[in-house]
Structure formats: C-alpha cells, structure tokens
Structure 1
Amino acid sequence: MQKRQSNKDAFFVSIKESQLNSKELEEAFTLFTEASHQLSNAYADLQQDVATLTGQLAVANGNLKKQYEEKAVLSRRLTLLLDRLPAGVVEVAESGVAVRCNQRAHDLLSQSIIGLNWMAFFTQFFSEVAESGIWRFQNQGVQAYFSIEQVRIEEESVSVVLLHDVTASVEMRETLQRNSRLVAMGEMAAGLAHQLRTPLAAALLYVGHLQREQLQDSDRIRFSAKAIDRLQRLEALVQNMLLFVRGKPHEVTAVDISDVALDAISEVRSVFEPAGLSIVLNNQASGCFVLANFKELSGAIGNLLENACQASMSGQEVICSIEQSDSAVEIVVQDHGTGIPEAVLSRLFEPFFTTRKGGTGLGLAIVRNLISSYGGEISVTSTPNLGSVFKICLPRVADTTKVLAQS
C-alpha cells in the first residue's frame, strides 16, 4: 500500500517537472524568436545602409572622376598656355635646381637648364647693365637683354622665375640715343659752320682789298685792322668751342667766392659804364670757399653779368648777390631788363642757340658745362619785360682743400 503511494507521488513529481521544462522551453523559444526578428530587422537596416553608402560612393566616385577630368583638361590648357607664353618660365626647387621650364625659356636661354643649379647658371651667363632691372645674357654667341622677376611659392617650397625679353626695347633705345647724339652733333657742326662763315668771309674780303695795287696806306691800315678783328673773332670762337667740348676745368683749388665775384665785376665794369648801367654787389657770404678754377669761374659770372647788361636799359642796375648755407653757396645775377620769352628758356643753354645778332650761342653752354664740372647747378627764371634771374649753386669746401684736375 505504501509502495503504491510512493509510486504515485513520484509520477506526479515527474509530471510537474515536465510541465516546468516545457514552460522554460517555450519562454526560451519566444526569446529566440524575438532575437531572430531583431537580427532580421538589423540585417535589413544594414542592407539598406550598405545600399545607401554604395549609392553615395558611386556619386562621390563620379564627382571625383569629373573633377579629375576637369583638372586634366585645365592642366593641359595651362601647359599649352605656358609653352605659348612670350615670357620664359623656370621653376626652381628649394635646393636651387631648375626642375621645369617652358619652351620659351629653352629658346631664350639657348639650352635646357632642367637639372642645373639656377643661381650658378645665372651668375655665369648674366650681368647687370647700367639701366636698373635689366640684365645682359651671353651664351654660345647669343646676346640678349632680360628683365627678371622671381616669385617664391611658400606652400610648394619652389620659386618661379619669369624672363621677359626686352632686347628689342633696349636696342631701340640705344638707337634713339645714338641718333639723338648724331642729330646734336649735326646741329653743333651746322651752328659752328654758320658762326665761322661770316667772320671768315669778312676777313677774306678785307684781305682781298689789301691785294689791290692802287691802295692808300690809310685804307691798307683800315682793312688790315678789320681783317685782324675778324680773325681774332674766329680765334675766340674756336677757343670757346674747345672750352665747351673739353667740359673740364683747369687747376682747381679752394677759392673765396667773394674774391671771384669782385674780379668778375671789375672785368665787366668797362662794359657797364658806357651803357649807363650800374652793378650792385650784395655779399652775404664773406669767407665762403668753393672748389673751382678762379679765372674760369670769374669768367662764368662775368658772362652772366654781360648778358644782364645787354638785356638792360640805361639807368637800370644789375644785382649780383652771394648767399650761403651750411653746405652750398649761391651766386645770383638779377636784372630788370627785357626778360626771356618762355619758349626760349628751354633752349637757353643749348650750344649755338642765340637770339642776339652777332652772338655765338656758346656762352651759356660753356657756363653750364663749367658749373657742372664743379659739381654745381645753374638755373634761370625770367618774366618778359620784368627781367631775369640766373642762379649758380656750388658746394662749399674748407679753405685748405686743394685738388688738381687734368685739363
């Protein structure tokens, strides 16, 4: 009886345990189903993300390909443009070696410089000319002139050198300068011939009179004096021409400008007095020295005083003023005469240019050359019917200075 009861209890326990395992299995299956569903959803989302990324990547690849093609087209155009530029272009690496150059640079330099040290090449074949910014290039019998610009590109650690061929411009400028000199020489020769012809013809005429057999002694003396006067004028003209061409002073020393001015005034006083004119010296530079030749500077001041005399009318006065500063001294000659027309002022110092009958046109040209040789300047201002002002400016020196210059 007890055994039957025991078997019955065991049977019910087994059934209960079976019921528990089934429930756990069902719960586990339910969890598995949910997890499987979540994984399916996640996989579907992942597939969608992959599809989206694949589409975006395709678009990005398409854009990159398009940009690459555009840059390739731009690169070809820039390369073509670079080769067609009228300027030479050289790309220099940070090491100083030329890594690229366009065809124009190759043609201008008569060789390829890729792989060469640019500065070494530049030092060997280029030399600077007098005109700032222009370089002369000589290589393999070729000579040319360049203006050169160099630009540093910091981001790429390279420099770009631009070579502009200015040979035609330089040669044209040299030709113009040469032609200008030839024109000036021609004008000078024509002016000199004109100045020599008149007194020479007069001298020949008077000498011809001297050959007449039936000539009174008084006439012979008169013709001789006139012939000598014309020949002396020719000699003075030639001397002035030599002074103008030489353009250099004789012995140069430190001279007191006051003494020079007094000497010039004493030399021209004989011209002023018969004309009824007076000279006033306004000296505010006592003991002021300049580096010059005494007689030549005195003659230059005298030339200005004589011109002032010829432009003035009787009863007027000519003022010679001397003023000084820390570094310079000014000699000013002022008259109140007829003045100089504005159209004439610009040509006043040209050789052989004169508005005065019988004038040689060399006086002021010689004065300007002389003052320039002393390191000074001469200028003029004038108002018609009110007078003219000539101003000489010379650098001051110590009275102990003495310099000898070759004549």
Structure 2
Amino acid sequence: MIYAVLFLTNNAIQGRRLMQLRDGLMEAGRKSYATLSDSISNIAVARQYNGYDFLLSRYRAVLDEDRHAQGRYWAVSLQMQIINALLFVGFFGVSFGVALYGVVHGERSVGSMVLVGAYTLTLLAPIEGLGNMLTEITQSLRTFGVFMDKLESVRPSSRRHAEVVPMSSFQPAIEFDDVSLIYPGATVPALRGISFSIAPGQQVVITGPSGAGKTSIIKALTRQYSPGTGSIRLFGQDIATIDVRTLSDRVGYVSQEVLILKDTLRFNLKIARAEASDEEILHSLEKAGLGDLVPSLPAGLDTILGNRGATLSGGQRQRLALARLFLRKPDVVVIDEGTAALDIVTEQRVLEECLTTFDGKTIVIVTHRPSAMVLGDTLIVVQDGRVEDSGKHDELRSRNGFLSRVLSGAAS
C-alpha cells in the first residue's frame, strides 16, 4: 500500500510537469517543421539574394529551441523513471530483507521467503504498469485537447567565401553566345540560338510577346536553368564556372513572382543583406515607394507577414522585392516584370529610382509596358525564343512590328 501511494504520487507530480513540458515540446516541433517547410518552399529567395546562411541561421535557432525542449522533457521523464525504479528496488529489498531475517532466525522457512519475493514481484509489476499507463493516458488526453482546440479555432464563425569575378570595362557585362534552352520535360526549346551582348553600365530593355522567351533569358542568366548549347558570360567569365554565391552577389534579380517568408518584415528584408541596419531598411522601403508601410503595421518592422505575404497587396509585395534590391550592391541589376503589379505612375517613379541608385551599373529590364521601354538605352525584341530585333527605341518603333503595335495601342 505504501509503495502504491508513493509510486502514484511520484507519477502524478512528475506527470503534471511532463504535460506542461510536452506542450512546449509539441509547439517546438510544430515550429521547427513549419520553419523547415517555409524555408524549403521559399529557397528561391535565398538563391536570388545569396541569403543561404541567413536563412539557415533561422532554422538552426528553431532547431536549438526544439532540442532544448526535448532535453527538458526527457530529463523530467528520466527523473520520474529513476524515482520509480528506486521505489521498486527499495520496496522489494525491504520485503525480501524482512523475509530473509525471518529465515535466519528460524521464524520462516526458505519456501516462505521465496514465496514473499514472488508475491512482491507479482504485486509491484501491475502497479508500475498502471502508473505508466495513467501517465500516458493523461498526456494523450492533453494532446487530444490541444488538437481539438486547434480544430475549433479554424472552424468558420559552413560559410564559403565567394570568389571574386574579375571586372573589366573591355568585356561585355553580359554576353549570350548562341544559347539554346529547353526545359526538363518540354519538347519545344524556350530559347533558340540567342546571341547578344550588353556593355558595362548599359541600360537595356528586353521586350516581346508573352511566351517569347524573355523570362527564359533571365533564368538562364541567373543559372536557374543551364543552357543546352552555347555559353553565357558575365564580364568575360562563363557563368557555368562562377560559384552560385558569387553570381547571386553580382546579379541583383527581381522577378514578377515575389516570394515572401512567413516571418517579420525585418527578416524578409534582411535576407537580402543580413547586416543591414534598421535605418538602411527604412531607406530601402522609402526608395521602393513603401515609406508609409511600416507606420501602418501593428508592430512595425517586427510585424509577422502572412503566409507567402498574404497580408500584403500584389503591388506591396513587388515593392518589397525592390526594397530588397535597394539593400544590395550588385554589378548587374535584372528586373523581370518586377513592376507589373504597379500602376504606371508608381512604376515610373520606382524604375527611375532604380536607375538613379544603380547609376553606372548594368541594368536589364524585362517589360511589356511602353512606359518602361523608353528607359533603356537599347531595346532587344524577343520572338519565338530568338532575338528578332535590337536597337534604339526610336529606330525600332518604325521598323519592328511588335513594338509598333504596342506603342500604337498605348497611344490609342
């Protein structure tokens, strides 16, 4: 009876501690899984801004929390098991000692001593099993309760240093030499013998009808896909020989598809440059036309953005991507329909800010909009995966059919 009371008391006390720790353990596990899923689904953000280490540091911090939560839980669980084992050994030892004392003094037979030992073991085992079962049932009920609460709540009502790419004003900043690209599983090439070159500091607009291959050029340039034939050179060096981190540092890339991490606004900006100060972050937001965003958020820069930026509009998401770009210092700036969700006035102002901020850098803008086409020194018109025409804006508007239709439509 004494053993049963002590055993169940220990299980009750330690069980309550385990329930509290189990809640923290489950929350830590959910957080680590959510962070892992979020990081994997948005790995392209780290690729674009060379933020692998910064992204990994977040996951490491969450794993540390998970490990500490597990350590505390299993430490208490081990403590409970040790106390139960000591109680078991102590009670068995006392019972066996009393029986042995009786045999030594002739008060009991050896058979009686063996019988006492057997009865003790037979009695203690079910009590121990009952105590462990009650602990498991209690924890399972707690877990089920948390699950039901969650269900009710959703019902309606090692760092490598980047190699240095040699910069030369005598070499084209970007050079495509007979590049062809076919996507995995596709039968029709996206690019067919593309060749062109862009000088350092030149501002070039790439345009053409939808599906012509404009974005494929950018994906090949940023090494999201490797060309089947031909070569792409950055300041005279084949990009296939450039470390991906170096390429991410040298080429600042903003696409129409903006990837937002389910984290704070600050984190979503610092992934572009981890050492950026709050002042620099606010300045980049101002340049991107989001100067009024931070004051409107409940926790400012520490506001958690929704899953994939669900709390932001399409225009805000695109300007957030541009703010990331303003935090960086690339040698080549690529904007692939990165202002498509903006109105023409905002687009014009943001693109002009890009030209001012990255003055002297090589800038490539992919766009359909006539208002953005005039920003380039040179236009490259792409059609059916090939370069159809290239030249100055005024030259092309009179001789290129696609550009004439676009500009005529805008004028009307």
Common fold, TM-score beyond 0.5?
no
TM-score by length of 1: 0.19
If you compute each CA radius of gyration, which structure gives the higher value, 1 or 2? 1
